[in-house]
Structure 1
């Protein structure tokens, strides 16, 4: 960088001499050409300096600040299709239509997500009740009910939703179950279940 500055200063001194009379006999057009040439050389030197700095920064980058070449990606979204009517206590809610299933952790046949890798996961479910009915669900982790979802209205449709963050090990299971007999869930993609790995 110091060498670049010295070169630029030398060129500027030449221009100063041309402008202030040490070579006053030199035609103006020649002086103008010299100024243009100096400007072009200075731009070239600046670009070289920037490239040199960029290379030094890249060489100085260590592994702790570099971006990993491979990041595990896990995530799914699934929705209901048919209405699920008169469901029994502890029955698993079904989400047969898969929108996203990166990592293949969600099983549309069982409605259960099985963690393909350990990590911190975010899960969310949204349930729509039939008009004038109530539905009560729970997000379950390895058989243990954790948080409840309620939807219901005496006259019209109603949606209940809940989200939860879970620290899972490989093959841990998460699903949605009914916690009250004879509840009904509206289908046609109105109810959904999703999960995503946020920290491996």
Structure 2
């Protein structure tokens, strides 16, 4: 864990140096502006509070362990049933819902893989409202990953749900995943 944190910090330091040549705010530098925001949010090794803040920062990663989940209805939530990381206890693998333990800007990532030959239409919801959508294609085990940056308040609920009323199957065996972490306050 410590070595991966050091590698991330060194990478961020290199990115920060590369950003010095970009003019912030220019349309061509949107990606660089986003990277600059992320590097400012990552605490440095010299920050005496960085370790405790990182240990408390809500973070989760869950995958669909079952071989597949069949979605029948537009109300169906994908239940990523194997929470490998759940710092802060915000993710509930029985419901598939992340409940924010702290206010802040979070990054969520979802990868959905469709069972061979099928497709899956899905969406990320915040408090029962559509936030962003995705579509795993009809190719043989086609998949899609969607990243979302979301401002949430304590108690807000974020989850992945079915986007259509037709029967669709999500591939499991740890191919489909849902994760999130607090980026900044």
TM-score w.r.t. length of structure 2? 0.69
In structure 1, the residue matched to 2:85 is: 100
Residue correspondences, number: 135
In structure 1, the residue matched to 2:160 is: 176
Give the stretch that moved more between structures: 78-87 or 187-196.
Answer: 78-87
Q: CA deviation at 1:90?
A: 2.0
Is 1:125 the counterpart of 2:125? The answer is no
In structure 1, the residue matched to 2:148 is: 164
The SS at the match of 1:145 is strand
The SS at the match of 2:134 is strand
In structure 1, the residue matched to 2:101 is: 116
Q: Distance in 1 between matches of 2:101 and 2:108?
A: 15
Is 1:78 the counterpart of 2:62? The answer is yes
**Higher Cα Rg: structure 1 or 2?**
1
Post-superposition Cα deviations, 1:74-106, rounded to whole Å, max 9, x if no partner, equal 100000022112421121001010110000000
Unaligned runs of 5+ in 2: 1-45
Q: Distance in 1 between matches of 2:48 and 2:153?
A: 24
In structure 1, the residue matched to 2:137 is: 152
Q: CA deviation at 1:109?
A: 0.7
Q: Distance in 1 between matches of 2:123 and 2:182?
A: 20
Q: What does 1:1-200 align with in structure 2 at a 5 Å threshold? A: 67-68=48-49, 70-71=52-53, 72-82=56-66, 83-154=68-139, 156-180=140-164, 181-200=166-185
Root mean square deviation, CA, Å: 1.5
Post-superposition Cα deviations, 1:136-186, rounded to whole Å, max 9, x if no partner, equal 0000000001111101225x1101110101111101100000011201101
TM-score w.r.t. length of structure 1? 0.64
Q: Structure 2 vs 1, CA of residues 96 and 67 (structure 1 numbering), >3 Å: closer, same or farther?
A: same
Post-superposition Cα deviations, 1:9-63, rounded to whole Å, max 9, x if no partner, equal xxxxxxxxxxxxxxxxxxxxxxxxxxxxxxxxxxxxxxxxxxxxxxxxxxxxxxx
